[in-house]
């Protein structure tokens, strides 16, 4: 769920990179800081932000950019759910096959 007012969902004391990397570490999707930085850069690029934006704090972004930050977080959770499903099912079969 992406809230209309995303600032309330972002810790103002953390950089955007740390906010996004938190879930990567929590769910064991990365093993170290370098890998987390790389994955954060990929996620930010997917939502049309730059990797350098990871160093900024939430108050430095517009409302739309903050929503994109939350979309990046949500995207990594969806990837986690898909990966777990694939592992549980032993593969992936497209609908209709």
pLDDT of residue 80: 65
The two tokens of residue 97 are: 């096959």
Distance in angstroms (rounded) separating the CA atoms of residues 3 and 20: 16
Q: What is the mean pLDDT of each run of 10 residues along the chain (97 residues)?
A: 73 95 86 92 95 97 92 79 61 48
pLDDT of residue 87: 60
For residue 76, what is the enclosing H or E element? helix 63-89
CATH T-level fold of 6-89: Rossmann fold (3.40.50)
Evaluate whether 54 touches 72 at the Cβ level (below 8 Å).
no
The two tokens of residue 91 are: 């593969």
Query: Does the CA dihedral 49-52-55-57 come out positive or negative?
Result: negative
pLDDT of residue 96: 42
> Domain extents for the chain?
6-89
pLDDT of residue 34: 94
Distance in angstroms (rounded) separating the CA atoms of residues 28 and 58: 24
């Amino acid at each position: 769920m992406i809230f209309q007012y995303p600032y309330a969902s972002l810790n103002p004391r953390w950089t955007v990179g740390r906010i996004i990397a938190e879930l990567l570490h929590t769910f064991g999707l990365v093993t170290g800081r370098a890998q987390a930085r790389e994955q954060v850069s990929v996620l930010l690029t997917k939502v049309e932000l730059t990797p350098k934006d990871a160093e900024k704090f939430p108050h430095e972004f517009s409302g739309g950019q903050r929503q994109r930050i939350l979309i990046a977080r949500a995207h990594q959770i969806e990837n986690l759910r898909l990966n777990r499903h694939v592992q549980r099912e032993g593969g992936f079969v497209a609908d209709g096959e």
